[in-house]
A and B are shown apart, each in its own frame.
Chain A
Amino acid sequence: MEKVLMKGNEAVGAAAIRGGCRYFFGYPITPQNELPEYMSRELPKAGGVYLQAESEIAAINMVYGAAGCGARVMTSSSSPGIALKQEGISYIAGAELPCVIVDMMRGGPGLGGIQPGQADYYMCTRGGGNGDYRHIVYAPASIQETVDIMMESFEIAEYYRMPVMVLGDGMIGQMMEPVEFRDAPKRDLPPKDWATTGTKGKRGPNIINSLRLDPVELEEHNFHLDAKYKEVEKREVRWESFLTEDAEIVLVSYGTSARISHNAVTILREQGIRAGLIRPITLWPFPFKAFDDLGPTVKVLMSVEMSMGQMVDDIKIASAGRWPVGLHGRAGGMVPSQHDVVRDARAMLEGVA
């Protein structure tokens, strides 16, 4: 199929519809508005429904209702709006419903700004809602990768009966790149015999629910969820390693920051410094194995992120004391420059020499 030039937010919409999404519930917020606008235009043509909710809270609860009926459904927002959805995400995780949530991150905290940010890492990987729950978090670094992941995300959500989050940022949402729509790998999906579609008099009632008043039963449910999460950790982790084989310094970065870090690694190599990059594609499950694969040449790790240091915590867990872990963090909508990353990488390396 030929490549088309598309803006990130619109490409997400196109990929979602091709991935089988037929229901979208959302609420306007910058910098992701082109996505709901696209869906309002294109979903009716695909026989689906776009509905603008009264709030992000209502939108995620509409997702709950639709997902409970077995529909392929999604919502999208940006950081403060995703914060509002966290309660609903917890309920969806508790009720084991599949759905896809797109977060085009902006700077925070609070109302923050509308420029790209990556400060939702804690909220999205730790679970901003209550209780022991997890959901997959993909962090694509190009429009093509975003499209590929979006098309696959509905299959994955249904396979595990859990929310899948696609975490972009204002840059991913707003920039234009050539993309090709390729059919996503299909999973062997069981029938949705749990969905509330009316009993038709042929079965007992189905109940979509996250309430379990009996502590024994609720703990059992938590054990069940945990087993599922361990399966996801085993099977779904994704990352990309670039020039890490002989690296002395390994940058760790995702999404927009990873593109800049990739350039920084190339510049460092030109300067004779053996630099490499680990780019987590899933933020949860975090690619701990990528760090275990590192060789004895590695002296130091450095997180490059558009936050004051959130992913750096996972890198420290991955390092487990084996390497010092530094941070190049920009915030508030400021994007790292490759030269600043190079400078900090060199300084870190000299610091441990």
Chain B
Amino acid sequence: MPIVFEKTRGLTDKETHYCPGCTHGIIHRLVGEILEEMDLLDNSVGVAPVGCSVLAYEYFNCDMQEAAHGRAPAVATGIKRVLPDRTVFTYQGDGDLASIGMAEIVHAAHRGEKITVIFVNNAIYGMTGGQMAPTTLLGQKTTTSPYGREKSHSGSPIRISEMLATIEGAAFIERVSVHNPQHVRKAKKAIRNAFTTQQKGLGFSLVEVLSTCPTNWGMTPQDSLGWLADNMIPYFPLGNLRNPQEVDNG
């Protein structure tokens, strides 16, 4: 029988710890497939964050470093400066990147650090049990916003991609989603373009991936996908915000 689908060599055989219905698995697969398809795997060093994807270093089938909370872009900077011809990427959640690691991500972009950042935004702190994140939507209930996030108390959710897109050194910025197959395909294309940006030495690249957290949102996986489409996408519009001419977006 012909083989029509195989697990990517970009991921190890380790069973992941992610909750049922969580979209981290899809995003891992996309990154792994791109690394394999672009033949980057054997020349890559990835950086895992602190948060739900803290164990990503066990799942990506390439050299990995585990960073302190929020510091992945700084760790990646150290790696890339020592090994400028290797592909260096970080995989970070919204607590890691948009809260504690805000300085590191802004300045990595600002320096035009030639790294690729996969930013997984699920509007909540997953690993620690569902606390409010900087990206938590207004009115969204979390364990630390039990009455719903209020603008007057906690501000509005932060739009990372739009903010980073104002920075000169940020060569490629795109927000995608993985709530249905069509968007999964678009997400994969964006991830490819981000790594291509790095391969061509054009500067900093980031793909923000809207993701679900059925466990901490308190929804079924199916309802979570719908909630993402209905609530997150209107506030976090999808699309490319920066794309260098040299990267073919066709």
Contacts and interface: CB of A to CB of B under 8 A. Distances in A.
A25 to B, nearest CB: 7
Contacts, number: 129
Interface string B59-77: 0111111111001001111
Nearest to A72: B82
Interface centre among B74, B82, B106 (most CB of A within 10 A): B82
B43 interface: yes
Interface in B8-50: 12, 41-45, 47
A88 interface: yes
Contacts of A88: 68, 71
A51 interface: yes
Contact of A61 (B45, B54, B71, B81): B71
B42 A196 contact: no
Contacts of A53: 74, 77, 107
Interface in A205-264: 205-211
Contact of B79 (A69, A200, A201, A207): A69
Interface in A55-102: 55, 57-59, 61-71, 73, 87-88, 91, 95
A58 B104 contact: yes
Nearest to A53: B74
A25 B73 CA distance: 14
Given A71-B82, A198-B45, A62 B77 contact: yes
A23 B44 CA distance: 20
B81 A64 contact: no
Given A51-B77, A65-B74, A69-B83, A206 B63 contact: yes
Given A200-B43, A205-B61, A208-B66, A62 B75 contact: yes
A62 B78 contact: yes
Contacts of B83: 69, 197-198
A209 B47 CA distance: 10
B241 interface: no
B97 to A, nearest CB: 14
A54 interface: yes
Interface residues of B, number: 35
B57 interface: yes
B86 interface: yes
B103 interface: yes
Contacts of B57: 207, 209
A318 interface: no
A198 B78 contact: no
B81 A23 contact: yes
Interface string B102-133: 01101100000000000000000000000000
A198 B65 contact: no
Contact of A198 (B44, B104, B106): B44
A205 B62 contact: yes
B78 A69 contact: yes
Nearest to B75: A65
Contact of B65 (A71, A73, A209): A209
B42 A61 contact: no
A199 B81 CA distance: 18
A176 interface: no
A62 B81 contact: yes
Nearest to B78: A65
A49 B78 CA distance: 10
A211 B54 contact: yes
Name which of B41, B62, B66 has the most chain A CB atoms within 10 A of its CB.
B66
Nearest to B110: A54
Interface string A38-56: 0000000000010101110
A62 B75 CA distance: 5
A201 B86 CA distance: 13
Contact of A87 (B68, B76, B103): B68
A199 B62 CA distance: 7
Interface in A111-160: none
Contacts of B76: 65
Contacts of B55: 211
Contacts of A49: 81-82
A69 B75 contact: no
B86 A55 contact: no
A336 to B, nearest CB: 38
Given A53-B107, A61-B74, A207-B58, 12 more contacts: A23-B81, A62-B75, A62-B81, A64-B65, A65-B77, A69-B82, A196-B65, A198-B62, A199-B42, A199-B62, A205-B62, A205-B63
15 contacts: A49-B81, A54-B103, A54-B107, A58-B103, A61-B104, A64-B71, A64-B75, A66-B79, A73-B78, A197-B63, A205-B61, A205-B63, A206-B64, A209-B57, A209-B66
7 residue pairs, one from A and one from B, having the closest CB atoms: A65-B78, A196-B63, A61-B74, A62-B78, A66-B78, A65-B75, A54-B107
